[in-house]
Structure formats: structure tokens, C-alpha cells
Amino acid sequence: MFQYPAGELKDFIASIIEKNVSPETMAWLKQQQTLPQGIAGFNKAFVLIPRKTSKAIIELTENEKQTVQQIRPGFTLNKYSIDRLCRVGLLLQLPADNEPQYLKTIETLFQAAEVNELVALYGALPLYAYPEKWATRCAEGIRSNIGDVLETIICDNPFPSEQLNDAAWNQLVLKGFFTEKDIQRIIGFDKRANKLLADTLIDYAHERWAASRTNHPQLWRGVSPFITEENFSSIEKAVNSKDAKEQKAALLACYNSSFSKAKQLVDNYPAIKQEIESGVLTWNSEELAKPTVL
């Protein structure tokens, strides 16, 4: 049903909520959890939450952040507003023993949601019961043009890498590049690397070169495990780029590659090779977080 100890997270989030809302609001929230309201009543409570709470950003201690990670690895409450947290708390209170009813109740929320509600719902994807049932909903969200919704799905969200098939995962990564999201915050980027995605990223790089535009340094991170004789000329082009970020990223990709010609290419750039070997230049380096702005 759940792939993590949901009861522990439910209790923990309830304790955080109680520290951030008034006693009156807490009493109202507890009342909503006990009333036999059905789908319509649950939806009404979900919609009403911002009227009962503030939209201030919650502050967590380092211990509290670690607790969240221990209960549900990859999930974070960082930068959550109080109303969003209360919505997640309400979702965790939803009985999950009746699978059809559970799925229908949450899906009904998705269908009628406005932007802030969608952010809460998509952000909670890692927490729902029957996780495999939500892959289609996640893939649909990737097609959204709403920036906040996309960021919620793409960044700091363990669900996509855990549940999406390769086609949907590749679409998510490409959408991340297209919409200039923080690629370093895509959980599972390295683990879910695949040849089709690498080929598509190289095609994308060529499109940008043709338009006299630079490429995001992280693009070459997705190509690195799949450098071959067939695509090596594209790697060489990136290494010869006038954009220092792209050049360094391409060389880092070569350094991490198992293709011998790529590794040999790095030897021609001893200063950058030294940065890599000393740990100064990695995929987590701030220097490679964003593309050069022309």
C-alpha cells in the first residue's frame, strides 16, 4: 500500500503543523479528519485550508529535516508554506484501505485544482499509497505549462525517478532543460540515465549550437555514460566550445566516461583535469549549475 512508514510521517507532520497554526485552526483540522464527509466533504476541506491558515514558510530545524529524510528518503518539506503543509497533512489522513475510493478521492482533487492546490498535490506524489498508480498522473503533470507545478514535479521530487518509465522520465529531463529548471535538483538524474535520453540531449545540443546558443553544462552529464565513437564528434565540439562552462562540463563527461578516446581527450587540458581530480570540479559545482547567459 505505502512504500514507507506513512504513519510515522503523518504523526511527524501533524507535530510540525501544530507548532505553526493556532489552537483554533488545529482543532478545525482535527475535526476534518474525523468527520465522515465523503469525497465532496474532503475536497471542501482541502480547498478551505488556506482560509484557515497563513501562507508563511515553515522553518525546520536540521534534526527535523533529517527526520523527514529518514522516514521518506528523497522527500523534503523545505520551503513549504503552512497551508501547503496542512494540505499534505490532510492527504495523509485519508484512509487508504479501500483502493478505488482512495484513488478516486485524490484524482478528483487533481481534476478540480487551481495552481496552489496542484503544487500541493503533485508535491505529495511520493507520499501516496499505491505509488505505481500515480505514474500516469505524474506524466500528465510534466506536460503542464505552469512553472510552479513543473518545478514541484521536476525538482526535489523522488517520485518520478522511482515510478516513471523511460519515455516519461526522458520527457521530464528534457522539460527541465527546456524550461531552465535547476537540473542539479532532479533526483535520480544519474541513476536513470539512458542511451535514448543521451541521444536526444545531443540532438538538442546541436539545435542550440545551430541557433548560436550555449548549452546547459548539466546536459553533458546525461551524455557521459554513453559516449561512443558514433557521438564523439559532438563531444569534441563541446570541448572546443568558447563557453568555458560547456567546455569544462564536456571534459568532466569525458573524464567519467568509459570510452578511451574521451579519457585521452581530457589529457589535452591538464589544468581542467587537475580541477576534476582534486574534486574542485564536479557535477555539483556551482560553476556547472547554470548555463552561460548570452
- Given this model, what pLDDT does residue 294 score? 61
> pTM of the prediction?
0.94
- Given this model, what pLDDT does residue 5 score? 97
Note the pLDDT tens digit of each residue in 146-189.
Answer: 999 999 999 999 999 999 999 999 999 999 999 999 999 999 99
Residue 35: pLDDT band (50, 70, 90) is low
- Given this model, what pLDDT does residue 292 score? 87
- Given this model, what pLDDT does residue 32 score? 82
Note the pLDDT tens digit of each residue in 219-274.
Answer: 999 999 999 999 999 999 999 999 999 999 999 999 999 999 999 999 999 999 99
Note the pLDDT tens digit of each residue in 100-140.
Answer: 999 999 999 999 999 999 999 999 999 999 999 999 999 99
Residue 40: pLDDT band (50, 70, 90) is confident
Compute the average pLDDT of residues 204-210.
97
Compute the average pLDDT of residues 25-41.
79
State yes or no: pLDDT of 145 exceeds 70. Answer: yes
Compute the average pLDDT of residues 272-290.
97
- Given this model, what pLDDT does residue 156 score? 97
- Given this model, what pLDDT does residue 37 score? 61
User: How is residue 146 written as a grid cell?
Assistant: 505552469
